[in-house]
Amino acid sequence: MKATEGSWLSLVLRPKSGYKIRAAIEDLLYTSGCVGIWDHLPDGGIDGCGSEAWLDTDNNDPFEAADGVLLTAYFPAEVRPRLAELALRLTALDLVVEEPQLETVANEDWLENWRRNFSITELTDDTLVVPTWEELPAAETRLGLRIYPGQGFGTGTHETTRLAAFFIERELKRAHKPVSFLDVGSGSGILAILAAKRGAEPILALDLDPQALINARENCGHNLVSEKIVLADTPVTLIREKFQLIAANIIAPVLHKLAPELSRLLKPGGRLILSGILIEQLPELLNVYAELGLMVEERKTSGEWTACIFQAG
């Protein structure tokens, strides 16, 4: 089916069971340009919006049969040429029960899926993500970030976002004065918005996807922080300003490639937060950053994912 203007491509998978298989699938999907994943049941039932059910280390896997949870991965239309090869790789690596199916999905269809599945979610112990169509309970005292799940994705449901948010919030709560903050790969803007709400300034949020920037700009407006956050599609290689706190929630191969630039942009004594790393990818990544003089200060793990915070000398 030919993609039309205002549409997306989706790859519908039926993965084999196991959280390690899920992690391998996600790595392949995001490396191929995936911008979001939705888990659902074949009959229209819901299995959550994110990866929580798949990262169950007690092996309470919901997916022991071919009629289990489906995974729909969304891609921008321009990556169509590489999706046929991706489907073949998923099958050849024995990660899926059957051959994945490629479909064209209108914007309004997948947005409606997100709207039906996305509800108030805990981002950190002290912060909630609130869909723009819901209201926080009157008795709720935690901070609420109002997010619309547009094409930038990033709704706080994935472990990598939560891990990054934990370190961002902790660092900003410890700070005695405003901290300059750089968000690399900002997506929906959720981490930059959290930083703004916790007092960081100035804030620069970068993403190369124009749709992500549109969504992030909308979400900044929903949270009344538009004047506090500069959104840009500028490559990090062109940024000259240095920052006290940098967060990059991206897949490990990209974090590897960006290491010299992220190191360059960090002020002396500043801290760098990296998330989006599978546990088995961590040793190599630590070596890359150690060679640049950045030593890991702390790491935090959730399921098969890990995040680290580094300190500059």
Question: What's the rounded Cα separation, in Å, for the pair 152 and 190?
Answer: 10
74 and 171 in a single domain? The answer is: no
Q: Could you tell me if 186 and 260 are in contact, meaning their C-beta atoms sit under 8 angstroms apart? A: no
Place of tokens 């094409």: 151
Residue 175 lies in a domain: yes
Give me the CATH number covering residue 263. 3.40.50.150
Q: Is residue 162 part of a domain?
A: yes
Report whether pLDDT(19) > 70.
no
Asked if residue 259 and residue 165 are part of one domain, the reply reads yes
93 and 179 assigned to the same domain: no
Question: What average pLDDT does this structure show over 301-312?
Answer: 91
Indicate whether 52 and 124 sit together in one domain.
Answer: no
- Pair (104, 46) in one structural domain: yes
Between 202 and 33, name the one with better pLDDT.
202
C-alpha dihedral (43, 46, 47, 51), degrees to nearest 10: 120
Q: Residue 238 phi/psi, 5° resolution?
A: -100, -5
Verify that 196 and 271 share a domain, yes or no: yes
Please check whether residues 94 and 132 belong to one and the same domain: no
Structural domain range at position 17: 7-113
pLDDT in tens, 110-127: 566 666 667 788 899 999
Digit-coded pLDDT (tens) for 225-257: 999 999 999 999 999 999 999 999 988 888 999
Taking the C-alpha atoms of residue 50 and residue 159, their distance in angstroms, rounded to an integer, is 8
Q: Is residue 291 part of a domain?
A: yes
